[in-house]
Structure 1
């Protein structure tokens, strides 16, 4: 390949927002002003709050002038739409941390284009994505929903996703502005951070996105920053976001995050969600009429909501930002999900495992080499671990969607290997402490029946499994106010005899009947005051049931709806009927897996986290793999030296066995096509081209930043300042398991040269280049490959940080030039004494390499 090879630099797809210079922008603005002028005070205020859980409007008649229904949807890893149920499936993309592992802005933009396509299909006009908070510590339970520990990487990927979404005519919503980097007490926590820390780390991704991609919507976080809740933060919302950065979009609250009428108006909060009962409405009308709020302030809020409606095409007479004829070509959703999943896989370790050929050259554990296809040594592959059969395709919470189908690594590997290659499977011990929802494969046939307050049946819906989850709306349009109880009814036909386990999971009163027995009839209390946590991570109770194989038993789980579920904060129903088959001892399951590995040519162990530890609303209390998965890995590795461990997690986990196994491969939460993508990577049909977007620790005690819980005064001090991630590890002089940026791939790369061209900095553009850098690399291996060229920059002898990056591809033996642009911001630091940005002193050390610790080329240079 020559220099025309694919080269995805970190600014390319996001340099020009969708609307920049569009003639229709003036016409759109004129229409907004005309509509605003025709609204009375109640009409303006009506625009500032949701009509229901997910929408604003419609507002018809003379006071609303053709404001259609504007629908918002969760969407960091897939667009759910207004229904949260398996009966309304969505394309499930890899989690944002997996997108972060691609280091590829072109891939992030494609993800945005697909999210826009999904939003249009589901009737949504705005998607609540991307999440551009930082990986401050892996103890954050929502770590998987953010891209990286580095603000430069996060901002570039977030801007690319915003560009893709808005090219598709759908508003992006970067969130959660700002410093919502943990889940503990997220509604009330007060993050305390100095100005430099905020500016250089936590605000930086938002600024990058606002200045380069022009988002139409942005979400205020629940938390406070330095004593002021973000929905009311005049300094950060009005002075910084709008005044300094030029944000002209609307600012929406996180759901139920608007708490004060006067405070939110002063803080510039344009849209309070969900509705209709919010701090605006009649409260704001009264405040204006009493002279406590000037009507001009309401005009400013309403104007921005009208502009949002105009941009997405729901304001009559206003041209949308992207006309229907200009929408991008349709994408194949499953194919995109599969490609992204493969690109995100990170190969952490890949050791030689045995002789190959007469010369005795030792080959690496991966890729696997089936005899029939490659003439290699593999005839039998022993797969083990629950995650091989039932992978986690996504994290819990607002990013969760229900795909039509999820591919498992086990079925995909069996489908992809040659016919003469055997793939055995042993589940090993179940790492979950809670039972999974009952399924048809377990022998359950279930229907959800909705009953009114008078016990009359209001509707029924067939269930794919034992999980009943509705948010914002009910099947058949049943009003929440009319709902008295829901029952899950059906039959259970056991596939085996013995003592089975049934479970109830939820909040409220439940009655569980199986056969002729009442197993439970009592109240389950929420374990958290966070209503979202009660919905997403409720308590569970487990019960034993003796049953014979093939004998059908009637099953009934009755749930009396609690008050908060009927038109309360969210309007939600969430409960589960869980199930587990008669148990085999964990030690026996481990021994079975080890015996199968001993009889195979190679072993693949799939391990990972569970939905109890990586989910919205709850932080992690340990980084260890749950259950006895470490014991499973060690036993299998002792039985077979060619053991490959696949880690199915969205955030770092401890791997005390990492040097005892031949290979370690991260697949993250890979989305609906993750099994197929993983099989392709294992067999070498795809390159594990991902690189770590966050540093992985070797031991929990080594972590430089751990605190996620506020102190007794409700404050969470960011005492580490701007040193998180690789910066903190360097400052501490500690050695992690794997550094930020690390990843091996299936080929080798030589760094041959680095040329730097200094540029005159743009006075008003912090992202204008001050230097252009060309790094030539050569693929010195025996197969095509993908490399992420990383450029770190800092004053000589001082701490360096990521300044630029680029993805390149080359055939075996070919060289390619990575082109990188160093933005002005990379050589500036925040000085609170000014206050403002000032140049960092030189000379500057340019360090190009394969990770934060693997530097291949260095040059020192003065910059203007």
Structure 2
């Protein structure tokens, strides 16, 4: 195959090769008919196919063909279910095949640095391990159907404000451990056919023009072999992007940038070798996609059922006091809220899907044959944030007569949309006022939420129960119905932290929307890592989610208590369902280093599984850890290292709800010590036992009248402690009898020989 593709590339004219470097139009690459090279057709989106039937645009302004609208990524992230994501990927792949789509633009795995990001509904999690593993399953599903997935937006695209010009300044450790890690496992494990470069700059370079990002990291370190596609309109300078490793600029621009490539090549400013590499990759993809074309009828009813299952598995029961849920037989229930009649099932922008079927909550509840009686009142308007006295009065009337009021609240589409960030975390004031008014006439209140990102809940004490459904897709209504009535058991867990206040969020003081530069001052302390480090109790922690049943965790067993690089640590734990109904539990494993200053700060998620357990039954859950689970990114040596020492293995049902812990010893891979130089501190030298011994013995050879000798031989405790911060060069200062520069250089050389 390689030789055949190289032969095709060698037969192309310069103009034909450059034509492959950008779209022919908004969605397709050009075909080269004389060489039988087919076009590649792309389409949004992450939670459903958006193939436009009318004029093309990138923001979902024009209507697309009917397709299955699955729950959005924020919702699916809360499922913690790899198998579910894979099935959804397969369903999307089938719909792509039917519509002659070769590349599906998704999933999105950008980290949720802040809940203010207007596009968070398209992303899976604040945690890179969870995000990357769920994305890998989704990609595997899509590509099983012979359609390529395009992982996006690479990389560090964490806000919408100034997204096309923003320069993100992020330190190397956070870049590797948090932001790139969200892509890494998905790329290495699932091998997506494409990666989409982001709009923004990273530490001064546009993502689409960064050789370090697109070639060194993506291709050389991670082994990516697919094509790199630009986000629509992301390319700043085409020749620089081609050199960096960007293959296809989208959308097409009538060949204007292709002509620039030709000019630069003829002028000698750009090597044709770069062009040949891109042509090779694009031709390879075009031929592979064409070979795997398999148009067939799609069982859309089955896909609707899958969308229902996804909404069911992903909804999170945040609160359930007095066992308010599920609703009880014989109760009369007031359904209140415009979102019950017009539910938000997805976000706005380029991912907007035209659902082929849409169930409505009011229709389902009011027409259902049930032992629970329902009445409905609109309560508020979605077109305005102002209170409507007539709607409020009607809602209070039915709430007062009912046994329970179920109030549907959430964010209108204008509050969170692609291209703009949020400015606060509040619900619309008319919804909050309605909730307070209903509370004056009804004590039994359930709140159902439809939103694409966390919200503040200063009203949290009013409802007895809160069900977070996020943006649940076209089959959301039946999932809500079955969860409220207890026909199904909630099993979703939050894939992000809900803060009590916006001011508590990690990036609050460094999130800017009015500058072309931003500094990620919180470094690796993103999401729950920050709340742990600052000891701030969130409103709801990462991993939180209740059930209608209860689970009991046993003790952790491991196959070894001493871990070395290259080992696989096998972990098992028994879980029992001690309730009276079947339920699913997400087992979350966190790793916490004990005291290592160079290891990851705080605990981090390193394994998870979701299991179904019948009432009264027990299962044993098996998890595995490799050396990456104990590694941190070493900036000095530009690689992943293990800091030796003791590590806690913690298993729980949320990041702050740990039920079992054990400890193992892990061997260090830090054989390469930091190089000692004149400005290394005494403390850094003393951190290594052999170096400390050598330095201590050397100090004993210094004349006793020297200041240095007195500090370390006769100095007080505070003086020695202070001296740990002195640079080594200071040993040659302070007195006439101090060591000479020559003697200092000699001991530095000996220290570096260790």
TM-score normalised by L of structure 1 = 0.73
Deviation at 1:661, TM superposition (A): 1.0
SS at match of 1:349: strand
Quote the Cα distance in structure 2 between the aligned partners of 1:758 and 1:595: 64
Structure 1 residue 829 corresponds to structure 2 residue 632:
yes
Q: Does the 8 Å CA contact 2:128/2:181 hold for their aligned counterparts?
A: yes
Structure possessing the higher radius of gyration over alpha carbons: 2
Name the counterpart of 2:86.
109
Gaps of 5+ in 1: 1-26, 314-319, 353-363, 372-377, 435-583
Structure 1 residue 172 corresponds to structure 2 residue 149:
yes
Quote the Cα distance in structure 1 between the aligned partners of 2:440 and 2:213: 55
Deviation at 1:227, TM superposition (A): 0.3
Quote the Cα distance in structure 2 between the aligned partners of 1:846 and 1:762: 15
Q: Does the 8 Å CA contact 1:258/1:279 hold for their aligned counterparts?
A: no
Deviation at 1:262, TM superposition (A): 2.2
Name the counterpart of 2:384.
433
Structure 1 residue 341 corresponds to structure 2 residue 143:
no
CA deviations 1:481-531 (Å, max 9, x no partner) are xxxxxxxxxxxxxxxxxxxxxxxxxxxxxxxxxxxxxxxxxxxxxxxxxxx
Quote the Cα distance in structure 2 between the aligned partners of 1:715 and 1:592: 50
Query: RCO higher in 1 or 2 (8 Å CA, sep ≥ 6)?
Result: 1
Quote the Cα distance in structure 1 between the aligned partners of 2:297 and 2:394: 54
Query: Structure 2 matches for 1:227-626, cutoff 5 A?
Result: 227-277=204-254, 280-313=257-290, 320=291, 322=292, 324=294, 332-352=302-322, 364-371=323-330, 378=331, 380-418=332-370, 421-433=372-384, 586-626=388-428
Quote the Cα distance in structure 2 between the aligned partners of 1:119 and 1:147: 22
Larger mean Cα displacement after TM superposition, 273-282 or 851-860: 273-282
TM-score normalised by L of structure 2 = 0.84
Larger mean Cα displacement after TM superposition, 422-431 or 672-681: 422-431
Q: Does the 8 Å CA contact 1:256/1:273 hold for their aligned counterparts?
A: yes
Structure 1 residue 32 corresponds to structure 2 residue 5:
yes
CA deviations 1:191-236 (Å, max 9, x no partner) are 0001100000000021111111111100000000000001100111
Q: Does the 8 Å CA contact 2:572/2:621 hold for their aligned counterparts?
A: yes
**Against the structure 1 CA distance between its residues 217 and 199, is the aligned structure 2 distance closer, same or farther, given a 3 Å change threshold?**
same
Q: In the comparison of the two structures, how many residue pairs are matched?
A: 655
Name the counterpart of 1:518.
none
Name the counterpart of 2:105.
128
Quote the Cα distance in structure 1 between the aligned partners of 2:455 and 2:134: 24
Name the counterpart of 2:641.
838
Q: Does the 8 Å CA contact 2:364/2:481 hold for their aligned counterparts?
A: yes
Aligned-residue RMSD, C-alpha: 2.2
Quote the Cα distance in structure 2 between the aligned partners of 1:839 and 1:629: 50
Deviation at 1:325, TM superposition (A): 11
Name the counterpart of 1:779.
577
Quote the Cα distance in structure 1 between the aligned partners of 2:543 and 2:637: 34
Structure 1 residue 792 corresponds to structure 2 residue 624:
no
CA deviations 1:736-767 (Å, max 9, x no partner) are 1100000001110000121122499897xxxx
- From the two aligned structures, give the one with the greater helix fraction: 2
Deviation at 1:711, TM superposition (A): 7.2
Structure 1 residue 820 corresponds to structure 2 residue 623:
yes
Name the counterpart of 1:652.
454
Quote the Cα distance in structure 2 between the aligned partners of 1:613 and 1:221: 23
**Against the structure 1 CA distance between its residues 715 and 415, is the aligned structure 2 distance closer, same or farther, given a 3 Å change threshold?**
same
Deviation at 1:637, TM superposition (A): 2.9
CA deviations 1:358-402 (Å, max 9, x no partner) are xxxxxx11111223xxxxxx1x11000111110001001111111
Quote the Cα distance in structure 2 between the aligned partners of 1:777 and 1:725: 27
Q: Which runs of 4+ in 1 moved over 6 A?
A: 325-331, 759-763
Name the counterpart of 2:74.
97
Name the counterpart of 2:517.
715
SS at match of 1:850: strand
SS at match of 1:99: helix
Quote the Cα distance in structure 2 between the aligned partners of 1:843 and 1:327: 56
Deviation at 1:290, TM superposition (A): 1.1
**Against the structure 1 CA distance between its residues 707 and 264, is the aligned structure 2 distance closer, same or farther, given a 3 Å change threshold?**
farther
Q: Does the 8 Å CA contact 2:97/2:294 hold for their aligned counterparts?
A: no
Query: Structure 2 matches for 1:201-240, cutoff 5 A?
Result: 201-240=178-217
Q: Does the 8 Å CA contact 2:162/2:513 hold for their aligned counterparts?
A: no
Quote the Cα distance in structure 2 between the aligned partners of 1:749 and 1:708: 40
- From the two aligned structures, give the one with the greater strand fraction: 1
**Against the structure 1 CA distance between its residues 69 and 288, is the aligned structure 2 distance closer, same or farther, given a 3 Å change threshold?**
same
**Against the structure 1 CA distance between its residues 329 and 601, is the aligned structure 2 distance closer, same or farther, given a 3 Å change threshold?**
closer
Deviation at 1:713, TM superposition (A): 5.5
**Against the structure 1 CA distance between its residues 623 and 330, is the aligned structure 2 distance closer, same or farther, given a 3 Å change threshold?**
closer
Quote the Cα distance in structure 1 between the aligned partners of 2:378 and 2:402: 16
Deviation at 1:828, TM superposition (A): 0.4
Name the counterpart of 2:606.
803
Q: Does the 8 Å CA contact 1:370/1:417 hold for their aligned counterparts?
A: no
Deviation at 1:326, TM superposition (A): 12
Larger mean Cα displacement after TM superposition, 818-827 or 647-656: 818-827
SS at match of 2:355: coil
**Against the structure 1 CA distance between its residues 853 and 50, is the aligned structure 2 distance closer, same or farther, given a 3 Å change threshold?**
same
Q: Does the 8 Å CA contact 1:261/1:279 hold for their aligned counterparts?
A: no
Name the counterpart of 1:3.
none
**Against the structure 1 CA distance between its residues 165 and 769, is the aligned structure 2 distance closer, same or farther, given a 3 Å change threshold?**
farther
Quote the Cα distance in structure 1 between the aligned partners of 2:298 and 2:645: 45
Quote the Cα distance in structure 2 between the aligned partners of 1:839 and 1:337: 42
Deviation at 1:38, TM superposition (A): 1.5
Name the counterpart of 2:163.
186
**Against the structure 1 CA distance between its residues 89 and 631, is the aligned structure 2 distance closer, same or farther, given a 3 Å change threshold?**
same
Structure 1 residue 144 corresponds to structure 2 residue 96:
no
SS at match of 1:127: strand
Query: Structure 2 matches for 1:689-700, cutoff 5 A?
Result: 689-700=491-502
